[in-house]
Amino acid sequence: MRAKNSCNLLYVMWRIEPVEQIVVTVKSNPGHSSHSDCGARGYTTIAKISLEEVGITARTHSAHRMRARVEEENGNFQCIVDVDDKTVWSGSLETRVVAPINGPVGFRSDNGSFIFKLFVDDESR
């Protein structure tokens, strides 16, 4: 979602197994910039949102739209996650961790077959 480099990033993941959920995570390793520097260290889970509780599932193989954004107001950061135009989570992010992570957006997938469309607001670049 926001990445300074592979050691310092904020991301929102749609996890399908073992439990279908949205996971908001920060990987923070100040002073490090490559995977060889930080490895798998520095992860902090901010939120886990059960999709079953909000009645959304990828198991039907139908199309879904996930939107995640970070809003800043007066130095305070908030992340909002929508699935199919329904807000499933919003919460504050720690400013000292998120403020330096101001890079490009993108996506990745593990162990699945997906079709993506990436839309980026010009102001968020």
DSSP notation for the chain: -EEEETTEEEEEEEE-SSS-EEEEEEE--TT--SHHHHTT--EEEEEEEESGGGT--STT-----EEEEEEEETTEEEEEEEETTEEEEEEEE-HHHHTT---------SSS---------GGG-
Kindly state whether residue 86 falls inside one of the protein's structural domains.
Answer: yes
Domain containing 64 equals: 2-103
Per residue in 48-100, pLDDT (tens digit) is 999 988 888 888 888 888 999 999 999 899 999 999 999 999 999 999 888 88
| Residue 39 pLDDT exceeds 90 | yes
The answer to whether position 108 is within a domain reads no
Within a domain: 17: yes
Number of domains in the chain: 1
Q: Does 112 reside within a domain?
A: no
Q: Is residue 115 part of a domain?
A: no
Reported as a single tens digit per residue, the pLDDT across 7-17 is: 999 999 999 88
Q: Is residue 118 part of a domain?
A: no
Q: 64 lies in a domain?
A: yes
Q: Give the other-Cβ count within 10 Å of 92's Cβ.
A: 11
In a domain, 124, yes or no: no
